[in-house]
Amino acid sequence: MKAISRRMFGKTAAATAAVAASGVSLPGIAFGQTEEHKRLPLGFPDGFKWGCATAAYQIEGAVKADGRGQTNWDIFAHTPGKTRNGDTGDVADDSYHLYKEDTRLLKDLGVQTYRMSIAWSRIFPEGRGEPNPKGLDHYNRVIDELLANGITPYITLFHWDLPAALPGGWQNRDTSKAFADYAAYTTKHLGDKVKHWMTTNEFVCFTDLGYRYGQFAPGLRLPDGPANQVRHHGILAHGLGVQAIRANTSSDTQVGLAENAGVYVPVIETEEHIAAAQKATRILNAPFLTALMEGKYIDEYLRHEGANAPKVEPGDFEAIGSKLDFVGHNVYAPEYVRASDSPLGFTVEPHPKSYPHMDSPWLNIGPECIYWAVRNVCDLWHPEGMYITENGASSTDVLTPQGRVEDIDRLMYLRNYITQLHRATAEGYPVKGYFLWSLLDNFEWADGYSKRFGIHYVDYKTLKRYPKLSAEWYKTVIAKNAVV
Ligand code: GBH
């Protein structure tokens, strides 16, 4: 067989022989030494965790089931003109009822882990006060099903679906305290089964996009001062949440978050540009990740905001700067940075119009940003561990009559990003796992169902799930613990 295929691929074989004859060798590769052409293996460390990620409002549907309270996103999505085609999460993938089927999809992929979120308003329909036991029952069933299938749940407590009954939403400091109470209650009751918790998902999305730019719920356009205060309440919720989880769980519990810090890639990998990218990472993420990692707002941010800087109360930064067991980083698109003589010493280059992107116009393709996401954060702040809590891509998937989706563009995206993640693990950065966004096509927020991020296609008429080519590929990656 081997000999036949060598002959069939005569050109490759000849090229290999030419290299061998010339005496050129690459580290780890000895051309011509054995019959089998040796490849550079892109293997991940033993015990590396592969997973998929989802979020409650994007997949669950069943918005009125079992006493769930209304959320900001229910209201926003039902407001004309706010989401594409007026789409809502009312039904979504109906994963609330189809969770066993979704667990089977996970099992079939062979993932070790699954990142999901809990809908706050299923546990506390009013955001605080009386808990709803049926909410907890539901998540107990979901978690039991995962555990029975050998899949470890990693749970996000807040992925943007805020109970609508909380007055003022994130404009109100009390919401941060309500979050901590919800986190305390939920982790106390589920903490014997779930050992990995993330407080919040992507500060900038539920603060700035919701309250400053109006693109996400609740759709407000506040001026800088109040909008900066909303940001502060977001990170305060995280901090109080970490304290609450620690106080209510055993010492084998791992606490982190899922953050989409801006990822700054040096335009050229030379010392000056690398330093510029690191500086940009620290300064441009000042309201969020930098504040958590350093337990303060850095001077550059305070100077920049001046009179609009957030009001901070005593004790806030003690909570916000709480030590984490891991930093989860959602990674999608790069920003390119070079050293310059600007006042801050760096310049973020705008993307040329020809820059390639996936189906979502914002999803610029830059595989190396996953490497720099890890490297910048680790070199700046040396966290105990990191996870890629999301990475994935939208494609114009078409289901063929044979029930197949040949999403070679998503596959290209994933293969290249994961190859760059391999570089980070090979260099010894403490990345412990990777969660692919997403297990399923789902409600893509303001884009509704018009953008598909799943490695399983969902026919929204029948709710039937179909594995795409990328699912078959990911299954192979997981089985080999290597890029294929
Ligand atoms: C993540 O957000 C979310 O955690 C997840 O829920 C989501 O489904 C997934 O990624 C895919 O989007 O339209 O130009 O104003 C990623 C960060 C922030 C990217 C909002 C898109 C809107 C850009 N997202 N952003 S634009």
The whole-angstrom separation of Cα 366 and Cα 431 is 19
Give the pLDDT confidence score for residue 37 in this predicted structure. Answer: 60
CATH topology (fold) of 42-483:
TIM Barrel (3.20.20)
Is the CB of 154 within 6 Å of ligand 1?
Answer: no
Give the pLDDT confidence score for residue 454 in this predicted structure. Answer: 99
Instruction: Note if 130 is an active site residue.
Output: no
Which residues of the chain are under the pLDDT cut of 50? 1-26, 28-29
Give the pLDDT confidence score for residue 160 in this predicted structure. Answer: 99
Catalytic residue among 60, 202, 368, 444: 202
DSSP conformational letter for 65: G
Catalytic residue among 60, 259, 335, 390: 390
Give the pLDDT confidence score for residue 33 in this predicted structure. Answer: 56
Is the CB of 48 within 6 Å of ligand 1?
Answer: no
258 Cα nearest atom in ligand 1: 4
Is the CB of 60 within 6 Å of ligand 1?
Answer: no
Is the CB of 449 within 6 Å of ligand 1?
Answer: no
Instruction: Note if 202 is an active site residue.
Output: yes
Give the pLDDT confidence score for residue 39 in this predicted structure. Answer: 77
Tokens of 124: 């506390």
Q: Ligand 1 centroid vs 149 CA: distance in angstroms?
A: 30
DSSP conformational letter for 467: E
